[in-house]
Amino acid sequence: MDNVTFKRQLARAIKPWLKFFLILGVWISTTAHVVVSHPVRDPGLVAGHDVVTSLITSLNLETFQAFRASLTLNGQTDQPIGLYAEGIMAYPIVQQPTSNPAFVSTQPNTLTHFALAQRYGSLGLLAHNHLAGQAFFALQPEQTLWVVFGDGSLKRYRIVTIERYQALQPHSPYSKFINLDDPQQKVLSATELFLHIYENPGALVLQTCIAQGDELSWGRLFVIAQPEDTAPRRFPQS
């Protein structure tokens, strides 16, 4: 099978799923959105939420241990149950029901494991940006993120890039997107954007929405981190 044929088949296979994740703003009836006044260069302004944006230089082991102890282990080595970013977030992660691939938790300070991303080799975490997702706007490149898995093991990631996209048709599940940080303003289809973000083996991806003016589904924010550990660690002891 040639590469063009493969990509066409892949695009057809994932197209029905795109409405579940690239358009997080589709759930407007249950989701409010944070307005980012300057979405290209000023993503750290979160309405009514004062967050720490300094780079992470060390891990507060006592705080981290307390977060780890608050999580419920389930023995699953490949199932994330918690995400920790020093001074910014310490959030549990819930799973999407197999019968509801569009599910995103409406609980405060809670992230949702994006099941479809796992099929393409990445670890995706979703959040509404009036809830846990607002903390994503405080993250910066080079910061360290820690993922706790169901068996209690840990994996350390470092943020390598933060990408922001404008949806040209915000309410269409097949909208095209513009990369706001690309000087050439390249336009991507929904399929191309999904593959660009999530067909990234080993990566950790945090996704939420960006609002602009009166448009609640104006854009998408992706925080992308790469693993610094080649294998999961056991929890450090004090």
Q: What is the mean pLDDT of each run of 10 residues along the chain (238 residues)?
A: 57 51 37 39 35 49 92 94 96 93 92 94 93 95 96 95 94 90 92 95 95 84 91 62
CA angle 206, 22, 13 (to 5 degrees): 115
> Residue 10 has what pLDDT?
54
> Residue 128 has what pLDDT?
87
> Residue 52 has what pLDDT?
34
> Residue 87 has what pLDDT?
92
> Residue 74 has what pLDDT?
94
> Residue 30 has what pLDDT?
32
> Residue 156 has what pLDDT?
95
